[in-house]
Structure 1
Amino acid sequence: MEKGKGLARRWAVELPDASSSSPTVPDPPGFTRSAPDADDAAGARQRKDSETAWKAQKAWEVAQAPFKNLMMMGFMMWMAGSTVHLFSIGITFSALWQPLNAFRSVGKVFEPFKDPRVDTIAPKLLFTALNLAAMGLGVWKLNTLGLLPTNPSDWVSSLAPARMHLYRICDRAAKSQDIHWTVTDKQPLAFRSFTSFPPPFPWWPPSPPKPFTHHLRGPGRPPPTLLRVHSPLPPAAPAAAPVGRPPFGPCVPPVRRRHTITMPSNCAIVVAIAIFVVIILSASHAVTGARVGTMMIRQPSSVLMFREAPAFRNSPECGAADGDGRVDIAMTLDANYLRGTMAAVLSILQHTACPESVAFHFLTADADDHGLAAALRASFPFLDLRVYRFDPSRVRDRISRSVRQELDQPLNYARVYLADTLPPDVRRVTYLDSDVIVVDDVRTLASVDLAGHVVAAPEYCHANFSNYFTDAFWSHPALNGTFHGRRPCYFNTGVMVMDVDKWRAGGYTRRVEEWMAVQKRRRIYHLGSLPPFLLVFAGHIRAVDHRWNQHGLGGDNVEGRCRGLHPGPISLLHWSGKGKPWLRLDARRPCSVDYLWAPYDLYRYSSPVIDEW
Structure 2
Amino acid sequence: MSSVPAIHIALTFDDNFWAPAYATMRSVCLFTKRKQDLVFHLCHRTLSPGHHTDLAAIADEFPVHLRWYDLDQSEMFRDVARRMPENRRLSNIVYARLMLDQLLGSEVERVLYLDCDMLVRDDIAALFDIDLRGKAIAAVRDTMGAFIAGGRDLKNNRDIFDAADYYFNAGMVLIDIAKWREADVIGRMEEAHRTGVMQRIYYDQDLLNLVFKDNWLKLDWRWNTIDARHAHEGLDPAILHYTGERKPWGIFSTMLQTVAFARLYRHVMTNELFYRFARHRWRRWWMKRLRLG
TM-score when scaled to structure 2?
0.80
Match of 1:444 in 2: 126
Aligned-pair CA distance for 1:587: 9.2
Match of 1:394 in 2: 79
Aligned-pair CA distance for 1:347: 1.0
Paired residues of 1:419 and 1:504 also in contact (CA < 8 A)? yes
Q: How does 1:77-226 map to 2 (within 5 A)?
A: none
Aligned-pair CA distance for 1:517: 4.1
Match of 1:595 in 2: 263
Alignment partner of 2:22 out of 342, 353, 368: 342
Q: How does 1:212-611 map to 2 (within 5 A)?
A: 321-366=1-46, 370-381=49-60, 382-390=63-71, 391=74, 392-401=77-86, 405-407=88-90, 409-460=91-142, 463=144, 465=146, 467-469=148-150, 471=155, 473-474=157-158, 476=159, 479-480=160-161, 488-519=165-196, 523-525=199-201, 527-553=202-228, 564-565=231-232, 568-585=235-252, 591-593=258-260, 594-604=262-272, 605=275, 611=282
Partner SS for 2:250: helix
CA distance in 2, matches of 1:359, 1:493: 20
Specify whether residues 450 and 589 from structure 1 end up closer, same or farther in structure 2 by C-alpha distance, changes over 3 A only: same
Specify whether residues 538 and 465 from structure 1 end up closer, same or farther in structure 2 by C-alpha distance, changes over 3 A only: farther
Unaligned segments of structure 1, at least 5 residues: 1-320, 554-561
Aligned-pair CA distance for 1:458: 1.4
Aligned-pair CA distance for 1:509: 2.6
Partner SS for 1:565: helix
CA distance in 2, matches of 1:466, 1:437: 25
Amino acid at match of 1:421: L
CA distance in 1, matches of 2:254, 2:122: 29
Aligned-pair CA distance for 1:488: 2.0
Specify whether residues 454 and 592 from structure 1 end up closer, same or farther in structure 2 by C-alpha distance, changes over 3 A only: closer
Specify whether residues 441 and 501 from structure 1 end up closer, same or farther in structure 2 by C-alpha distance, changes over 3 A only: same
* CA displacement, residues 329-358 of structure 1 (integer Å, 9 cap, x when unaligned): 100142211111111111111110110111
| Aligned residues between the structures | 270
CA distance in 2, matches of 1:444, 1:587: 29
CA distance in 2, matches of 1:532, 1:602: 36
| RMSD of Structure 2 on Structure 1 (CA) | 3.1
Match of 1:67 in 2: none
CA distance in 2, matches of 1:603, 1:335: 19
Amino acid at match of 2:223: W
Aligned-pair CA distance for 1:539: 3.1
Structure having greater relative contact order (Cα 8 Å, sep ≥ 6): 2
Amino acid at match of 1:580: K
Paired residues of 1:377 and 1:383 also in contact (CA < 8 A)? no
* CA displacement, residues 438-480 of structure 1 (integer Å, 9 cap, x when unaligned): 11100011011111111101125x6562541354521x4xx45
Partner SS for 1:489: coil
CA distance in 1, matches of 2:194, 2:82: 9
Paired residues of 2:109 and 2:177 also in contact (CA < 8 A)? yes
* CA displacement, residues 555-597 of structure 1 (integer Å, 9 cap, x when unaligned): xxxxxxx674287431111112333221344896662422242
Match of 2:289 in 1: none
Paired residues of 2:145 and 2:168 also in contact (CA < 8 A)? no
Partner SS for 2:107: coil
Paired residues of 1:487 and 1:538 also in contact (CA < 8 A)? no
CA distance in 2, matches of 1:326, 1:599: 27
Match of 1:65 in 2: none
CA distance in 1, matches of 2:78, 2:37: 34
Amino acid at match of 1:490: Y
Specify whether residues 336 and 603 from structure 1 end up closer, same or farther in structure 2 by C-alpha distance, changes over 3 A only: farther
CA distance in 1, matches of 2:36, 2:264: 25
Specify whether residues 385 and 518 from structure 1 end up closer, same or farther in structure 2 by C-alpha distance, changes over 3 A only: same
Partner SS for 1:473: coil
* CA displacement, residues 86-113 of structure 1 (integer Å, 9 cap, x when unaligned): xxxxxxxxxxxxxxxxxxxxxxxxxxxx
* CA displacement, residues 64-90 of structure 1 (integer Å, 9 cap, x when unaligned): xxxxxxxxxxxxxxxxxxxxxxxxxxx
Higher helix share: 2
* CA displacement, residues 368-393 of structure 1 (integer Å, 9 cap, x when unaligned): 66443322223432431000122342
Specify whether residues 590 and 584 from structure 1 end up closer, same or farther in structure 2 by C-alpha distance, changes over 3 A only: farther
Partner SS for 1:505: helix
- Structure whose CA Rg is larger: 1
